[in-house]
């Protein structure tokens, strides 16, 4: 897509989806992210519903096998995150379950692990596309690999309420805006822009909780 931003090119009526099921899935996703930003545990079951419905749509309606597999993988991740929040945020938890930053050493190790995983993922997808006929040549290989890998990392960091998860989502959403704009899918680009705003909101809300918890910890 070339030239300046032109809102007339966006099919606004399709912002949430073109069918009731797509609209339902999108609403679950948006409300779920908002609740997680508010540290409300009910965001995870909504994310679980979104993943399940999206997996069904990917396989049954869109015939997008790769995306379907990706959505299916989100189901156990959402269950895991939900279980962690229930266990660590319950009344019997030994310590308050509040947002936290990891140590500098762990942050460096996390960055190194993420970069290594992105390299392995990108090279693996590229090699697979060369050997398997029905897999198309990957477009925007490294940008797409980065968003996929950081998606998983951010989910697990979010389960533990590590603040680094919002850094991951920031990168994912900024790249998502760019990727779908380049691929002439402005409606998806706009959705990522909306999630970018929610991510920044979540970062702000969790930072407030972190600052409020610091005097108690001291």
Of 37, 66, 94, which residue constitutes the final position of a domain? 94
| 62, part of any domain | yes
| 25, part of any domain | yes
Those residues whose C-beta lies under 8 Å from the C-beta of residue 202, and which sit 6 or more positions away, are 33, 36, 37, 166, 169
> Cα(169)–Cα(31) distance, rounded to whole angstroms?
16
* Mean pLDDT split into 10-residue runs, the chain, 218 residues: 55 64 86 94 95 86 70 93 91 84 97 97 89 79 91 95 97 92 79 92 95 70
Question: Do 159 and 120 fall into the same domain?
Answer: yes
Question: Do 142 and 193 fall into the same domain?
Answer: yes
Of 73, 94, 115, which residue constitutes the final position of a domain? 94
At residue 1, the pLDDT reads: 47
Q: Tens of pLDDT along 136-190?
A: 788 888 998 999 899 999 999 999 999 999 999 999 999 989 988 888 767 778 8
Q: How many domains does the chain have?
A: 2
> Cα(188)–Cα(105) distance, rounded to whole angstroms?
36
Of 64, 94, 124, which residue constitutes the final position of a domain? 94
> Cα(76)–Cα(67) distance, rounded to whole angstroms?
16
Question: Do 78 and 122 fall into the same domain?
Answer: no
CB atoms within 10 A of CB 137: 9
At residue 81, the pLDDT reads: 95
Reported for 128-136, long-range contacts at CB under 8 A and 24+ positions apart, including other chains, are: 135/66
CB atoms within 10 A of CB 83: 12
At residue 186, the pLDDT reads: 76
Question: Do 183 and 109 fall into the same domain?
Answer: yes
Its domain, for residue 23, covers 18-94
Phi/psi at 100 (5° precision) = -155, 155
| H/E segment holding residue 53 | helix 43-56
Question: Do 112 and 189 fall into the same domain?
Answer: yes
């Amino acid at each position: 897509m070339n030239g300046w931003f032109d809102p007339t090119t966006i099919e606004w009526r399709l912002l949430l989806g073109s069918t009731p099921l797509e609209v339902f899935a999108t609403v679950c996703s948006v409300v779920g992210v908002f609740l997680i930003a508010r540290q409300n545990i009910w965001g995870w079951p909504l994310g679980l519903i979104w993943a399940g419905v999206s997996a069904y749509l990917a396989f049954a309606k869109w015939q997008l096998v790769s995306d379907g597999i990706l959505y299916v993988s989100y189901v156990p991740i959402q269950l895991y995150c939900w279980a962690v929040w229930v266990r660590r945020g319950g009344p019997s938890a030994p310590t308050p379950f509040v947002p936290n930053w990891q140590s500098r050493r762990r942050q460096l190790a996390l960055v190194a692990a993420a970069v290594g995983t992105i390299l392995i993922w990108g090279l693996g997808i590229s090699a697979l596309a060369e050997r398997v006929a029905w897999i198309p040549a990957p477009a925007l290989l490294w940008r797409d690999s980065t968003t996929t890998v950081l998606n998983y990392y951010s989910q697990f960091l979010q389960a533990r309420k590590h603040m680094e998860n919002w850094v991951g989502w920031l990168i994912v959403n900024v790249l998502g805006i760019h990727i779908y704009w380049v691929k002439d899918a402005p409606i998806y680009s706009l959705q990522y822009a909306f999630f970018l705003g929610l991510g920044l909101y979540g970062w702000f809300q969790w930072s407030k909780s972190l600052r409020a918890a610091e005097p108690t910890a001291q």
